[in-house]
Structure 1
Amino acid sequence: VEDSYDLLSAREKEIMHLLVTGKSNRQIADMVHISAATVETHRTNIFQKLSIHNLPELILYAVRKGLIA
């Protein structure tokens, strides 16, 4: 069984890490020099690829994967 996490691009993994550590779309946009709309697109793609529906689910996923403590 393929791990859904492996479907994420390097940029999506970067955005995901910033999301689960509490950064807002605007903060992420400023940090990685993209628009907030592009962050939202990445966020949508992350949720779809991982079959996740909201940020708390994403945080739980990240904890279970050992990506955050």
Structure 2
Amino acid sequence: MTLITYLHVALVARLAELRRDGERGDSPVPTAVIIFGLVAAALTVTALVAARAQNWMNAVPTAP
């Protein structure tokens, strides 16, 4: 029973401490938007490079 009481008191104290600390960092939304933008840019660059490489390979003459 004392273990349960100790855990309850520790949990209540920790939650009170977390509520007091108002500065907990940025929202994850801006980070997700930045990551989405970087992924979109990387996909665009990859698609452009693949298209250029395919066009270059198609321009190489074949052996007779």
| TM-score, normalised with respect to structure 2 | 0.27
**Larger-Rg structure:** 2
Q: Specify which structure has the bigger relative contact order, considering alpha-carbon pairs within 8 angstroms and separated by 6 or more residues.
A: 1
Bigger helix fraction: 2
